[in-house]
Structure 1
């Protein structure tokens, strides 16, 4: 049966997932687009259902994906083009979305990492967070640990920017004191970044595994947090700008840490 009413209770609940409050209450989030949905399925991300608008779906790959998912017992919610467009976060929707279940890996359950993890302290921009997840996957890091009042990794902008890395990277949430306790117990070094860092990021020997610790876009790391790091590196700025975008800085440091090791 196809849902055609915008006032349908299921549709209203899904539409509410644009807001963090609803995502937190429902424990769910939306994944929009053929490629992100395919990545979620292939990575075994926990899903509640697929949402399909046959009028909009022209991809044979997407139809095969839906058939395979349904054959495995997955739930399919069929909706009209108008209903799907009311759920979509972008123009010209492709007609395929998934409803994912929010999942965090408890800090003690993080699997061993050959390189390490990225620690984001109170990062505010979901696009930055999604881009960092994507870069962490590309650079060989095992995941991202969110500390304090961070943005939501399941925000539509973060999901979109991660380009599927959200489903392959481990994501943990914790407090700064608990992070320090865990790191010390497992003898994992903390490498911070600051314009006051003692070492040029290119002239540094990076330990393994490591926690690459980055502060918020506006404030960076506090003096207390920098003091707790085993090593603090800086990225030289040669022009008038005094800082880089957080996701850009994270990418530079991740690849340098991987290269030097």
Structure 2
């Protein structure tokens, strides 16, 4: 189905009009014939989902890659937003910890281009992280303003790591915090107790990208 922008208007391009269609297996014949209305950058116009995912994987340096994990215990609408941001920063994987089902609407179909994983609880997630990177441990960086957390600003993040985020209302569970090598918080200057979970995820991913992307 065609994708739409936030205002409900179609995005993208119509059917291929540049002469003979390209003879390239990365291109989708259906999209070439009927147009590509997906929310993708121009580089990937008319490409198949599989070709886009493969190209994203190839562009990710093996010594610098980011995973993103989200606890999912309640019906948190922010998960879709986190997934969409993970796609924007070319995350190597997105991990749902807890309930398998999550609200995909905010992802704007970007989950198609990501490697999605499920872990039933923080213990299973920690077991995965212990051998996630070709047998090597992947450091876990929690993002939450809990007691004992340290400021994200100015902190060097590992070039290979997984950011672990909690629920909008309750934050990281104690079990999830125990799985973290460190928990960082985003320094705030107003009256609200916490940032929106989707916004916090975007800030944390951007901080990693400034250092390593």
Structure number with the higher strand fraction is 1
TM-score, reference length from structure 2 = 0.65
Which aligned segments of 4 or more residues in structure 1 are displaced greater than 6 angstroms?
none
Answer whether contact 1:113 1:141 (CA < 8 A) is retained. no
Q: Secondary structure at the match of 1:254?
A: helix
Aligned mates of 1:180, 1:60 — CA distance in 2: 43
Q: Deviations over 1:165-208 (max 9, x none)?
A: 21111111112222111211231000001213432111211112
Q: Deviations over 1:73-95 (max 9, x none)?
A: xxxxxxxxxxxxxxxxxxxxxxx
Answer whether contact 1:194 1:220 (CA < 8 A) is retained. yes
Counterpart position of 2:150: 199
Answer whether contact 1:140 1:258 (CA < 8 A) is retained. no
1:244 to 195, 204, 210: 195
Aligned mates of 1:250, 1:62 — CA distance in 2: 36
Unaligned runs of 5+ in 1: 1-31, 37-56, 73-110
Counterpart position of 2:206: 255
| 1:116 to 1:68, Cα distance in 2 relative to 1, 3 A | same
1:179 to 122, 125, 136: 125
Counterpart position of 1:77: none
Answer whether contact 2:67 2:161 (CA < 8 A) is retained. yes
1:232 to 183, 187, 199: 183
TM-score, reference length from structure 1 = 0.54
State the 1:62 CA deviation.
6.2
Counterpart position of 2:72: 122
| 1:33 to 1:206, Cα distance in 2 relative to 1, 3 A | same
State the 1:140 CA deviation.
2.8
- The aligned length equals 166
The structure number with the bigger radius of gyration is 1
State the 1:257 CA deviation.
1.3
For residues 126-141 of structure 1, what are the structure 2 equivalents within 5 Å? 127-141=77-91
| 1:218 to 1:145, Cα distance in 2 relative to 1, 3 A | same
Aligned mates of 2:211, 2:74 — CA distance in 1: 29
Unaligned runs of 5+ in 2: 18-27, 34-59
